[in-house]
Structure 1
Amino acid sequence: MVLKLAGGERLTTPEWPVPPSPIFDQNASKIGLLGAQTAKDVAYVYENLRAFRQNFNMLTKHHEDMTLEWSSAIVVGCLAAITRAEARGLLLIEKLKRRDEESYWRRPETQAQLKYGAAAIFAFLIALKLFG
């Protein structure tokens, strides 16, 4: 598309609808369970995919009415969004694979929950002894 537009040719692409993201949409509330940084990475990748989909839809829907420069700018924007998603997504996939292989009990968030839980139980037992 970039080469075609740079050569002064118009695009002849049929309209491409914005596909839904049902897996992401249905699990968005659970992403925080992955930890702050991983959740941020997941959201970043999906938002860049969404940006690509929306821009590509706009391009295919309105390319006949756009100037070549505007069409070219959208194509470059689409490439940038998908490149950002791919770069961070490849790292994210490896991170998620490592997390999946990791023991639940050795995860830092599990360790933190166990420490706070033990401290709460200990404080409760002390309170029972003092006031009981």
Structure 2
Amino acid sequence: MSDTNAALIAFLGVLAGGYVNNFLGEDFRRFRDGQALAGALAGELNSHATAIPLLRHFIGEMVDALRSPEGKVTLGEFDAPNSPVFDAGVAKLGVLGPALAQEVTFVYEQIRAFRITFERLSRQHKSMSNDQFAHSLEFCLMLINTAYERGTKLIADLQSYAKDGYWITRPWLSWLRTIG
């Protein structure tokens, strides 16, 4: 009977160890995927952020020109660019956790709304009144300002997530740190 108990205990130990090892292994892989995605998104957002001061200036000058007595602005057609890192990683946003995924989505949607509006303006501004055109440009400014304000903090949060260690981000494993 004791041999059967020993074999049963050993089998249950191997089964439990395999389960825990598999669970931790998958969690660690997801964590590493999240770190890579966070770093890549931070880089892409940082790249977008470098253009914002110039965009603010350019759009502000256009609004001022439209509000002046001459009121003439010519805008070449613009094809909205994309965000390849975000587009490729949108299905994996869950690995960042709910709060970061929500902020990433919000900031990228503000960027996308700016791009769509500006693209539409580039094609239709000739048929708009100066007042409509100026209001649409001010809407574009609001979108990029919101994206910039929330995006600045988001970039820092993504960079922090990308640098954090596995054990720091998993409080439920804190008891393992006390053993080692």
| CA-based RMSD | 1.5
Residue 107 of structure 2 corresponds to 45
Q: How many residues align?
A: 112
Instruction: Pick one of 118, 139, 155 that aligns with 1:56.
Output: 118
Q: How far off is 1:50 after superposition?
A: 0.2
Q: Which has the higher contact order (CA 8 A, sep 6+)?
A: 2
Q: Aligned letter for 2:68?
A: G
Q: How far off is 1:98 after superposition?
A: 1.4
Instruction: Pick one of 1, 13, 18 that aligns with 2:80.
Output: 18
Q: Which runs of 4+ in 1 moved over 2 A?
A: none
SS at match of 1:26: helix
Q: Which sits farther off after the overlay, 6-15 or 31-40?
A: 6-15
Consecutive unaligned residues of structure 2, counting only runs of 5 or more, are: 1-61, 175-180
Consecutive unaligned residues of structure 1, counting only runs of 5 or more, are: 116-132
Q: Which sits farther off after the overlay, 84-93 or 16-25?
A: 16-25
SS at match of 1:11: coil
Q: Is the 8 A contact 1:11 1:64 kept in 2?
A: no
Q: TM-score, length-normalised on structure 2? A: 0.59
Alignment of 1:74-93 (within 5 A): 74-93=136-155
Q: Distance in 2 between matches of 1:45 and 1:99?
A: 17
Q: How far off is 1:10 after superposition?
A: 2.6
Structure showing greater radius of gyration is 2
Q: Is the 8 A contact 1:10 1:64 kept in 2?
A: no
Give the number of the structure whose residues are more often helix, by fraction.
Answer: 2
Q: Is the 8 A contact 1:13 1:60 kept in 2?
A: yes
Q: How far off is 1:22 after superposition?
A: 2.0
Alignment of 1:1-132 (within 5 A): 1-8=62-69, 9-107=71-169, 110-112=170-172
